[in-house]
């Protein structure tokens, strides 16, 4: 365990070289600005602002950011030609992969909390800010959940081991594909397997249960798609276990 913590500490020290991470965090803080303008224009409550930021800032932007950061984390040794040094130290390659994933999880959590902070500031402009503690808890949960959403694409990034351009294209395609399905989830049959296999639609099915519906018109429409917390957590845990095992196995083989 101490060895893994030391490796994680080393991975965090590399973040200073990755300027994209700072830019992405800044983006998390800037995104609520146009969202606030839209909400203020229609005189909608803070709850709608939070929902808008989650649906676009988390479901669309966060997976793209995390995927690109993942490619930087997993390619940094290759690009700096230090792979041979790792073999002589030696650094356990499986633990190195786990350390990179731990850093990615931290970035996801930090992005989510930073986004919430900016959203709360926007909320004061819109009107009354309510339920901050609940939304903080949900933002932390989203940070963990959306870390899971990028694991399948991280498997592909590590497996193909190509250029950053390839990884960025792959990240955009994967994120937009998941986002499109999540946003149009009611256009699919409730028992469609894709809604229970792809992580983003799974999260959306859980998230929809928290949406307000004063008229009750959309509650009946959404009901067949809703997913309980235990079911959502169970599916995401299964995806995590499979993806992490694959990432570690592939990364170890490539390093050899």
Enclosing domain of residue 69:
17-255
Which pLDDT score, from 0 to 100, does residue 217 have?
A: 66
- Is residue 99 within 8 A of residue 2, CB to CB? The reply is no
Which pLDDT score, from 0 to 100, does residue 7 have?
A: 82
The pTM of this model reads: 0.90
Instruction: Give the integer Cα–Cα distance in Å for 34 and 236.
Output: 31
Q: Tens of pLDDT along the chain (256 residues)?
A: 777 888 888 888 877 777 777 777 777 777 888 888 888 888 888 888 999 999 999 999 999 999 999 998 998 877 776 666 665 667 788 889 999 999 999 999 999 999 999 899 988 887 788 889 999 999 999 999 999 999 999 999 999 988 888 998 999 999 999 999 999 998 999 999 999 999 999 999 999 988 876 556 677 888 899 999 999 999 999 999 999 999 999 998 875 5
| 126-146 pLDDT tens trace | 778 888 999 999 999 999 999
Which pLDDT score, from 0 to 100, does residue 37 have?
A: 87
Which pLDDT score, from 0 to 100, does residue 44 have?
A: 84
Which pLDDT score, from 0 to 100, does residue 87 have?
A: 59
| 5: in domain | no
| 188: in domain | yes
DSSP symbol at 216: S
Instruction: Give the integer Cα–Cα distance in Å for 219 and 216.
Output: 5
Instruction: Give the integer Cα–Cα distance in Å for 52 and 58.
Output: 9
Give the CA diameter of the chain: 66
| 160: in domain | yes
Which pLDDT score, from 0 to 100, does residue 84 have?
A: 61
Which pLDDT score, from 0 to 100, does residue 5 have?
A: 82
Tally the domains of the chain. 1
From the CB of residue 70, how many other CB atoms can be counted at a distance below 10 Å?
Answer: 25
| 11: in domain | no
Which pLDDT score, from 0 to 100, does residue 94 have?
A: 87
| 94: in domain | yes
Which pLDDT score, from 0 to 100, does residue 100 have?
A: 94
Instruction: Give the integer Cα–Cα distance in Å for 135 and 121.
Output: 14
Which pLDDT score, from 0 to 100, does residue 127 have?
A: 79
Give the residue ranges of DSSP H helices in the chain: 2-13, 19-30, 32-41, 46-52, 62-79, 83-88, 93-126, 132-160, 164-183, 194-197, 199-207, 217-222, 229-255
Instruction: Give the integer Cα–Cα distance in Å for 216 and 5.
Output: 49
Instruction: Give the integer Cα–Cα distance in Å for 196 and 208.
Output: 15
Instruction: Give the integer Cα–Cα distance in Å for 50 and 43.
Output: 14
| 174: in domain | yes
| 4-53 pLDDT tens trace | 888 888 888 877 777 777 777 777 777 888 888 888 888 888 888 999 99
Which pLDDT score, from 0 to 100, does residue 23 have?
A: 78
| 121: in domain | yes
Instruction: Give the integer Cα–Cα distance in Å for 170 and 192.
Output: 24
| 152: in domain | yes
């Amino acid at each position: 365990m101490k060895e893994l913590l030391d490796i994680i500490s080393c991975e965090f020290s590399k973040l200073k070289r990755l300027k994209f991470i700072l830019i992405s965090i800044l983006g998390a803080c800037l995104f609520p600005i146009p969202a606030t303008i839209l909400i203020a224009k229609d005189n909608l409550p803070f709850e709608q602002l939070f929902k808008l930021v989650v649906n676009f800032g988390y479901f669309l932007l966060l997976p793209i950011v995390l995927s690109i950061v993942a490619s930087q984390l997993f390619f940094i040794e290759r690009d700096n030609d230090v792979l041979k040094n790792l073999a002589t130290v030696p650094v356990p390659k499986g633990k190195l992969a786990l350390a990179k994933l731990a850093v990615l999880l931290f970035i996801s959590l930090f992005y989510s909390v930073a986004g919430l902070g900016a959203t709360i500031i926007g909320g004061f402009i819109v009107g009354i800010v309510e339920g901050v503690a609940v939304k903080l808890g949900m933002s932390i949960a989203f940070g963990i959940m959306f870390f899971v959403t990028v694991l399948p694409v991280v498997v592909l990034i590590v497996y193909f081991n190509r250029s950053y351009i390839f990884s960025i294209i792959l990240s955009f395609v994967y994120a937009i594909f998941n986002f499109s399905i999540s946003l149009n989830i009611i256009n699919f049959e409730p028992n469609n397997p894709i809604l229970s296999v792809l992580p983003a639609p799974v999260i959306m099915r859980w998230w929809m249960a928290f949406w307000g519906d004063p008229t009750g018109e959309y509650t009946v429409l959404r009901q067949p798609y809703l997913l309980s917390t235990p079911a959502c957590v169970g599916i995401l845990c299964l995806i995590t276990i499979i993806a992490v095992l694959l990432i570690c196995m592939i990364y170890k083989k490539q390093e050899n």
